[in-house]
Structure 1
Amino acid sequence: MPIGEATRYVMARTAGNPADALFSDDQDYLPPRLRVLIATNEPWGTYHVQPLLAEAERRGWRLTQVVPDKSRISPGDPVPTATPQTAPSADLLVVAGAGAWPVEVAGRFPRLPLAASGLAYLGPREAADARRLRPRLQAVTAASPGAAHAFAGHLGTQLTVIVVGSPRTDDLPKRVPEPGLVLVLTSVTRPDSTGEAAPGTALLLAAVEELRTAGKRIKVGLHPREDPTLWARYEISQVPSMNASARAEATIGIPGTVFPLIAAVGTPLVGCTDPALEVPDYLLTVCSSTIDDAALAVSAVDNARLPAPEALREGIGPVGGSAGRLFDVWSKAARGDVAEMA
């Protein structure tokens, strides 16, 4: 389904916004403990759900990520997981995309209200099985206007996409840059059963070596599924990349979900864009510049600056209170009170 001018984006809970009609302070009629199942395009990748746990605990909600099996779930993983066969009773199913696994899970729970929330970046090309989700969607959310456009394309929907911000920006670290420190943001070198990979690692490796030769201090923020041995010669960050970026003069990497988060911290970004890489526009708008040649890395990093405020708003979305806005939409979706706005 083409995404035309009919697709609308609503900024939730912002000053003077008509979207406030979506929300009500009278919660007496809502379930006291909403029970939510979540399925993502990365079947065993719980790292996109983990930032939601604090808000779930605050509200007394129960979140459970549905996974094919427990074989790739670490014993200490804080995200509750279950298979379709062992999943607890729920009030709502949330899919974070229209990949094969979320579509399968939706088919396993045909009677649950369904919402789609973009918890990670997805390109605007319509997913092959998105049509199987569209008739059931009660709500669609995304972090930013740019992400909303891409997510609408991924789902092939013309429903209103409610922009709620990213829960990971609800507690931003204070930026204290250290001279000469560059944070490198990796992607995933090889696809596996947990998710796809993005091309560009060879370009990024070459660019980082140019930076090291020029005297830059290198710290690497690994994607959760990246092969760490590729980066063994460099210092690996022991804290989340968003936190590590607060101490860097600039960041360089393969554009991904973390890019708008780091822009929200206030750290300039340089994108490594391999010719084979398809990147949604909103991830590029938060970059100071992009390079497709490693020889350009030093100059790009030395001259890295944050883009204009309007470009940042397009890519980042509202900052602060994002988890609350997301959960408010889910509350309405569980009751079927959102989709009629489309």
Structure 2
Amino acid sequence: MPVATPETVGRADLLVVTGAGDWPVECAERFRRLPLAVSSLAYLGPDEAALAHRLRRRLGLFTWLTSSSRSEGRAFAGYLGTRRPIHVVGSPQTDDLPERAPEPDVVLVATSVTRPDDTGGAAPGTEVLLTAAEELDRAGKHVVVGLHPREDRSLWERYEISDVPTVRASARAQACIGIPGTVFPQIAAVGTPLVGVTDPALRVPDYLLDVCSSTIDDASLATKAVSEARLPDRRTLTDAVGPVGGSAARLLGVWRLAALGR
């Protein structure tokens, strides 16, 4: 994939930013003449971003805001500190969902980042998740690990590490356990129940917790929680997942309208 820096950008039709952190805001302010779209492509914090006021100044009449679902849209609006409408397009990751075929005693562990390194920090609750996997293994569960792209693989090599993406791996699991994150609604869309591992320091939007059958902060509770895991009701699921199928086309269609100033 070609990569450009602000110094090397030539002609462009549209600037898409995915949040209100330092870098997206810097780009939005630097490329003021470009049409802008603001899209939630991964979950963001539940509170208004510190630089959201600067990004709001960049929003024009034809700036489109998008999210994958209604509940993500509400959280995204709070993060941006705006009352502007959020256009729900669905998640492209759900355009080709696998058919669920759960295997006996298979539990998917969706990892986050357990130990901080040069690429960034660690998520609260990850040590509990690591211990929970050990508890599940001792209880006779077959642990399959869906690795976060930044996770240290060596921490999980005693288990089966999935060679397919986490959402696809969830199709063979009786349940999934992990730190609530972007992938949770997508796994729920497959039909796999979720158990969230939480921590007092963890700050995530409510909709990521709503799709969980239960949440735990003690690894000793993992086996019982996984065994009893169930999907949320249809209304909660629809609110968190958004439309399934055709989402990539809808997102690109919105970006095209934004580029055309419509």
Which interval holds the TM-score relative to the shorter structure? over 0.9
SS of 2:57's equivalent?
helix
What is the match of residue 127 of structure 1?
49
1:231 and 2:153 matched? no
Any idea what SS the aligned residue of 2:137 has? helix
Distance 2:32 2:118 in 1: 25
Q: Is the 8 A contact 1:175 1:265 kept in 2?
A: yes
SS of the residue corresponding to residue 305 of structure 1 reads coil
Indicate conservation of the 8 Å contact 1:113/1:136, yes or no.
no
| Aligned partner of 1:107 among 22, 29, 32 | 29
- Aligned counterpart, 1:199: 124
1:322 equivalent in alignment to 2:247:
yes
Q: Give the Cα–Cα distance (whole angstroms) in 1 for the partners of residues 86 and 67 of structure 2.
A: 7
Instruction: Report the 3-state secondary structure (helix = DSSP H, G, I; strand = E; otherwise coil) of the residue aligned with 2:11.
Output: coil
Q: Contact (CA 8 Å) 1:96, 1:116: kept in 2 or not?
A: yes
1:241-280 map, 5 Å: 241-280=166-205
Change (3 A) 1:81 1:191: farther
Aligned to 1:147, what secondary structure does the other structure show?
A: helix
Aligned equivalent of 2:208, options 283, 287, 293: 283
* Farther-moved stretch of structure 1 (97-106 vs 210-219): 97-106
The answer for the alignment partner of 1:184 in structure 2 is 109
Gaps of 5+ in 2: none
Q: Distance in 1 between matches of 2:160 and 2:259?
A: 45
Residue 90 of structure 1: aligned partner:
12
Aligned partners of 2:212 and 2:231 also within 8 Å = yes
Output the CA distance in 2 between the equivalents of 1:246 and 1:292. Answer: 25
Out of 228, 240, 251, the residue aligned to residue 303 of structure 1 is 228
Identity %, equivalent residues: 68
d(CA) in 1 for partners of 2:205 and 2:164?
Answer: 27
TM-score, structure 2 as length reference: 0.95
227-236 or 173-182, which deviates more = 227-236
The one-letter code matched in structure 1 to 2:135 is E
Structure 1 residue 191: deviation in Å? 4.9
TM-score, length-scaled by structure 1: 0.73
Q: Specify the SS of the correspondent of 2:215.
A: strand
Give the distance between the partners of 1:289 and 1:160, measured in 2 at CA.
Answer: 31
Q: Which amino acid aligns with 1:335?
A: L
The answer on whether the counterparts of 1:221 and 1:236 sit within 8 Å (CA) in structure 2 is: yes
CA distance in 2, matches of 1:322, 1:105: 26
8 A contact 2:46–2:204 mirrored in 1: no
Partner of 1:116: 38
Match of 1:163 among 79, 88, 98: 88
Q: Contact 2:176 / 2:193 at 8 angstroms: preserved in 1?
A: yes
By how many angstroms is 1:221 displaced?
0.5
Q: 8 Å contact 1:123–1:153 — kept in the other structure? A: no
Separation in 2, partners of 1:166, 1:176 = 22
Amino acid at match of 1:140: L
Q: 1:174 aligns to what?
A: 99
CA contact (8 A) 1:124 1:149 kept: no
**Post-superposition offset of 1:194:** 4.9
2:139 to 203, 206, 214: 214
1:107-155 alpha-carbon deviations (Å, 9 max, x no partner): 2211101111000001221111111111322011000111111111111
In the alignment, the residues of structure 1 paired with residue 154 and residue 12 of structure 2 have an alpha-carbon distance, to the nearest angstrom, of 41
TM-superposed CA distance for 1:197, in Å, is: 3.5
Q: In the superposition, relative to structure 1, how do residues 198 and 94 fare at CA in structure 2: closer, same or farther (>3 Å)? A: same
Counterpart residue type for residue 110 of structure 1: R
Residue identity opposite 1:162 in structure 2: H
CA displacement 1:137-186 (0-9 Å, x = unmatched) = 20110001111111111111111011110011001111111100001011
In the TM superposition, what whole-angstrom CA distance separates every residue of 1:42-82 from its partner, at most 9, and x where no partner exists?
A: xxxxxxxxxxxxxxxxxxxxxxxxxxxxxxxxxxxxx3322
